[in-house]
Structure 1
Amino acid sequence: MLSPMDDYPIHQIAEPVRHVATSDRNFYDRYYFNCYPTDNNDTFLIVGLGQYPNLGVMDGFAVLRHGDHHIVARMSKALGADRTDTTVGPLRIEVLEGLQKLRVVLEPSSEYDLSFDITFDATIPAALEPKHFRRQLERVTFDTSRFLQTGTWSGHLTVDGEEISIDPDTWRGNRDRSWGVRPVGEAEPPGRRAVDGIQNFFWIYSVMQFDEFTISVIMQEDEQGRRIVEEAMRIWPEEGRDPEWLGRPEHDLIFCPATRDVTGATLTFHRPSGEVLTVDCELLLANHIGIGTGYGLEQDWRHGMWQGELVVQGLRHKVHEFEPMQRMFSPVDNLSKFHLTEGDQTFDGTGLFEVAAIGPHERYGFTSFIDMAPERETDNTEERL
């Protein structure tokens, strides 16, 4: 079946645009946005929308961390033939100017206590990240591409009846577009994987927005600390200026005792010259994107899962009531401050520190999927969770 996109010279395979190159059920194509104020640390909004062509599903979510409140709006519908349709019930994304300006709207609903009409305006060129590839047995489990941008936000957000003005002078965020193969939809029978075991997922993804530039960091490691994907690049706002490789990134995470909650981190970039750049990461507010949005292990709502022709739901929790086991099986997006030391210069920025320590990881002493961080002599970071 044809769609309006077939009138453009953009085909990559000998099929209409609505057919992707692989029939793998796990193919996806997704938007991600986050939005936060720089003048307080109690609000962190994350929005996502994805299409799953081989599952026939499109879904989206918005999750707001507002003080101690975890507010989720989520929606799912049958995917039609037109891939330019980026509306799922009350949620829609409008590309106003490709790779520069996008509008994100969540209409009010009785299902949830949240709505917004906000526009992202990029402050750096879109930067393509390295391919993310991983196998288990012979099955490709990850084969994805992604690009990122940082920028400012304008518009308004309403929560619990209170309207908040979003001013581009004080509201920032980053967005990405990713597509390819990653686990989505209903769980598949594990087959031999049940004998070989589930792969760990140790992951750090940080996007740091400074006034002068943006730094993007990616690290995924297996149980022994071997790198599956890594990147550390500085992206300049000037068009035509190539991103700068910062060298091999290393991490030092601080865990809250008896949990796997990361409460602080130091990242270092080891340049070929021997110079070391250091970033102290101050984690301010955790948005548990795995709870209620589709990123987690909830059996009733996962990205790409068939829910029906159109379903819209809302959820609300108190963050302090989340159990450690509930928090530990998905990435957590932390609103953060960053303090970069480069030679005799220092820079202060804000942004995203996304982290997951799921399953075994020798460096931090995790030997299974359920053991927790050991007790420390002192720790005063639990309030940031």
Structure 2
Amino acid sequence: MSHSALSEMDDYPIHQIAEVVRHVGTSDRNFYDRYYFNCHGDMRGDSAEPWLIVGLGVYPNLGVVDGFAVVRHGDEHIVVRASKALGDNRNDLTVGPLKVEVLDGLQRLRVSLAPGHGDVSFDLVFDADGPAALEPRHYQRQLERVTFDTMRFVQTGRWTGSLTVDGDDFDVQPDTWRGNRDRSWGVRPVGEAEPPGRRAAETDATSFFWIYSVMRFADYSIVVIVQELRTGERIMGDARRVWNDPTREPEWLGRVEHAVEFVSGGREPSGATLRFVKPSGESTSVRCEPKVANFIGFGTGYGLEQDWRHGMWQGDEKVEAVRNKVSELDPTMKMFCPIDHYATFTYTDGDAVVTGDGLFEFAVIGPHDQYGFAEYIDVAP
């Protein structure tokens, strides 16, 4: 009788299938389970505070756990990334110098990066503003293959702790340091790239339009998700107001319509207006103003570098630091990954106008008819 597959989590009544916790209910290689966090100070003025993003993912069918921290600080783009063989204990959320701890489920988490790698270190605690909001299921089938089948929840919150970048120490206090975090799990492309086969010829397998925005206002957050094919056909589309008051149910705001303006010569957004339209015709709108871009596709595993992708086997343990100048990033490669913008938002609902800030994640990869991108490397005029 083997005990090697067991972990302390198996002592809790949480099993979903007739397997130990370490084995998930599908053999799909692309199953994943991931944490995402972002952290920023008040960057609406001339602040030199960093824009930090942290991720940690578990890939049970690939036997890998990996993570990254990426900082945009002035013209510096600094990544610390780590990967290791996945062990039995799903409570162990440590990868090299990077660690995630759940202090109080759905409320308080700690993320830390020990010093000694890439001139970045931190020890930060996230406290949620309000309840976690479960988003609609993300499902996409391309020909016969299910390429996306995921769930995700999201929260805005406050940060407390310390952050050091290039020898500069930042005292992170919850009155000015904010952000959001999410948890997602399910099936999406991970690990070594798979040949698309017939999908490459008969579907828009590599065309991807995406808006994911988490806007924090005083009493609530607004979460917007849009995924489209090149024609504008929706894979996902949702906009909800999530109240900080846990006794209030999230409110559907309506169908999302988008009008994005682009920086000339590329596909980075210079601004966007999102309208939320109810079946009655009643609508509200939000103006999005991107301020600071974190090019999370570079160095973190989202697919630009073929030698380091989320879930890719790197050996028993590997830690690397990667540094680039933002001004020297390849302009063409920028068009093939999502970009996480710190942004400000102005929400208009009738005579009421409120302002906030947060995340505006955006990508338009490949052709997209609404914005006149006919080829993969077309840029805005």
TM above 0.5: yes
CA distance in 1, matches of 2:351, 2:188: 42
Name 2:16's counterpart in structure 1. 12
CA distance in 1, matches of 2:286, 2:316: 46
Q: Deviations over 1:161-207 (max 9, x none)?
A: 11100010000000000000000000123322343353311000000
Task: Work out whether residues 27 and 54 of structure 1, in 8 Å CA contact, stay in contact via their aligned partners in 2.
Answer: yes
Does the residue aligned with 1:362 lie in a helix, a strand or coil?
Answer: coil
Task: Work out whether residues 134 and 140 of structure 1, in 8 Å CA contact, stay in contact via their aligned partners in 2.
Answer: yes
Q: CA deviation at 1:323?
A: 2.1
CA distance in 2, matches of 1:128, 1:221: 21
Q: CA deviation at 1:273?
A: 3.3
CA distance in 2, matches of 1:153, 1:243: 24
Q: Which runs of 5+ in 2 are unaligned?
A: none
Name 1:35's counterpart in structure 2. 39
Does the residue aligned with 2:370 lie in a helix, a strand or coil?
Answer: helix
Does the residue aligned with 1:204 lie in a helix, a strand or coil?
Answer: strand
Q: Which amino acid aligns with 2:335?
A: M
Q: Which amino acid aligns with 2:166?
A: D
Is 1:187 paired with 2:155? Answer: no
Task: Work out whether residues 205 and 354 of structure 1, in 8 Å CA contact, stay in contact via their aligned partners in 2.
Answer: yes
Q: Which amino acid aligns with 2:8?
A: P
Task: Work out whether residues 38 and 350 of structure 1, in 8 Å CA contact, stay in contact via their aligned partners in 2.
Answer: no
Is 1:324 paired with 2:339? Answer: no
CA distance in 2, matches of 1:219, 1:191: 26
CA distance in 2, matches of 1:208, 1:353: 8
Q: Which runs of 5+ in 1 are unaligned?
A: 376-385
CA distance in 2, matches of 1:272, 1:345: 21
Name 1:222's counterpart in structure 2. 229
Q: CA deviation at 1:353?
A: 0.2
Which among 46, 53, 57 is matched to residue 53 of structure 2? 46
Is 1:127 paired with 2:133? Answer: yes
Name 1:312's counterpart in structure 2. 319
CA distance in 1, matches of 2:196, 2:282: 46
TM-score using structure 2 length: 0.96
CA distance in 2, matches of 1:152, 1:176: 14
Structure 2 counterparts to residues 1-385 of structure 1, below 5 A: 1-38=5-42, 40=45, 41-42=47-48, 43-109=50-116, 111-196=117-202, 198-373=205-380, 375=381
CA distance in 1, matches of 2:199, 2:351: 51
Does the residue aligned with 2:84 lie in a helix, a strand or coil?
Answer: strand
Q: CA deviation at 1:368?
A: 2.1
Task: Work out whether residues 304 and 333 of structure 2, in 8 Å CA contact, stay in contact via their aligned partners in 1.
Answer: no
Q: Which amino acid aligns with 1:73?
A: V
Q: Deviations over 1:233-264 (max 9, x none)?
A: 00011123110010111111011122111121
Task: Work out whether residues 118 and 157 of structure 1, in 8 Å CA contact, stay in contact via their aligned partners in 2.
Answer: yes
CA distance in 1, matches of 2:34, 2:18: 23
Task: Work out whether residues 260 and 324 of structure 1, in 8 Å CA contact, stay in contact via their aligned partners in 2.
Answer: no
Q: Which amino acid aligns with 1:118?
A: L
Q: CA deviation at 1:297?
A: 2.1
CA distance in 2, matches of 1:223, 1:194: 14
Task: Work out whether residues 278 and 342 of structure 1, in 8 Å CA contact, stay in contact via their aligned partners in 2.
Answer: yes
Does the residue aligned with 2:163 lie in a helix, a strand or coil?
Answer: strand
Task: Work out whether residues 206 and 365 of structure 2, in 8 Å CA contact, stay in contact via their aligned partners in 1.
Answer: no
Does the residue aligned with 2:210 lie in a helix, a strand or coil?
Answer: strand
**What percentage of aligned pairs have identical amino acids?**
63
